[in-house]
Structure 1
Amino acid sequence: MIVLVLHIFTPHIEAIKADGATEALINSICIENEDYGFCNKIIHEKLKVPTATIKELTSLIIYTTMDHANDTYIFIDNILREWPVPKETTGLKTCHEVYNRETNSFLEIRFLFSKGEYGRMGEAILSTAKILEDCRGDFLIPPYKEPLIEKKRVMRILITMSAVSGHMIKNEKASLISSVVTAQFFNI
């Protein structure tokens, strides 16, 4: 009975089935990523309609990336309020600042995107990959094992998704042949 009640009251996120052209765009973005399945899942969960252009997908990705950076910033903020060990506090404060800068950068990226300044947008996305490197993330903070490792991995994936879709818009191409974008971001 309890399981049934939980099932009824738990919100379920159902992925939208994208049409052929939209699915091809999603595949072009995700094939460039370190975790194709995760990339594909994120886009499908956020997709509201079955048909989307590369600009609509890029907008969705930019908003998702900005939300993740902000959520991670708040997560670190909460840990800093509770964590008394100075050794970890220094690293956490560095990561706190990193995710604050990431959030602000993606606010700027969103603005550049809205103005159609795709070249500048691409440069700004490149800078976010470099910002992320400053957060070590392998802290042992009870009750978490390493709370920022997975958040940093997700951020790296979202930045790559932003870079690839932004590159596709800038170059007016619906797909990429090889990892022309990702290699320059994360030394892949």
Structure 2
Amino acid sequence: MEDYGFCNKTFTANLKSPLTDLAGLTQSTIELTAQNASNDFVYSQSIPENATDPDVKKVLTECVKDYNLIMQFFTQAMRSFAFRDYKGMLNYELPNSRLVALCKEAFNSAKPGPVNITYLTERNRQLRILIAMSVVTGHYRLSQ
């Protein structure tokens, strides 16, 4: 796991009960990922107009689109989970790692400026971890 401390803290803070089973873990990771993607979407949507560098503006605009897709995919993953369609759930979760990776690459190439890319880079890292947590719990859930 990329960041055990983040994963542990996330699960500890968001479990409905210390006795939460795999289904509960799976549900929590999907909900947390959707929530973080939504927060990142709202934040990233508000900052492109502050970017003075055209390349940074382009990066932010593309990442806004990616975060929007991630929100849509995880909304569908939640729906699939609710209908116990775990294979469908994973099909909605899996493409998201690529979308987050594209934003990470874009942030790494962005020039420093008036837009706080560092904050968004950290949010993106957390989202990447949450997606991985969702996929891992989803795979375990599917195998049961």
TM-score, normalisation: structure 2? 0.89
Instruction: Identify the match of residue 99 of structure 1 among 62, 67, 74.
Output: 67
Instruction: Identify the match of residue 163 of structure 1 among 107, 125, 135.
Output: 135
Q: How far did residue 96 of structure 1 move?
A: 0.6
Pairing 1:142–2:114 present: yes
Structure 2 CA distance for partners of 1:97 and 1:86, relative to 1, 3 Å: same
Separation of aligned partners in 1, 2:87 and 2:9: 27
Query: Contact 1:95/1:137 (CA < 8 Å) preserved in 2?
Result: no
Pairing 1:89–2:57 present: yes
Higher relative contact order (CA 8 A, sep 6+): 2
Separation of aligned partners in 2, 1:141 and 1:43: 35
Runs of 4 or more above 6 Å deviation: none
Structure 2 CA distance for partners of 1:75 and 1:92, relative to 1, 3 Å: same
Size of the aligned set, in residue pairs, is 140
Separation of aligned partners in 1, 2:117 and 2:134: 29
Question: Which runs of 5 or more residues in structure 1 are unaligned?
Answer: 1-32, 173-188
Pairing 1:51–2:19 present: yes
Q: How far did residue 63 of structure 1 move?
A: 0.6
The correspondence of residues 100-119 of structure 1 with structure 2, limited to 5 A, is 100-119=68-87
The correspondence of residues 1-188 of structure 1 with structure 2, limited to 5 A, is 33-135=1-103, 136-138=106-108, 139=110, 140-142=112-114, 144=116, 146-172=118-144
Q: How far did residue 143 of structure 1 move?
A: 5.7
**Aligned Cα root-mean-square deviation (Å):** 1.5
Separation of aligned partners in 1, 2:25 and 2:34: 14
Separation of aligned partners in 2, 1:84 and 1:37: 36
Query: Contact 2:70/2:96 (CA < 8 Å) preserved in 1?
Result: yes
Q: How far did residue 163 of structure 1 move?
A: 0.6
TM-score, normalisation: structure 1? 0.69
Separation of aligned partners in 1, 2:66 and 2:13: 27
Greater helix share, 1 or 2? 2
Separation of aligned partners in 2, 1:100 and 1:123: 17
Residues 56-76 of structure 1: per-residue CA shift (max 9 Å, x gap): 111111110001111011111
**AA partner of residue 67 (structure 2):** Y
**AA partner of residue 135 (structure 2):** A
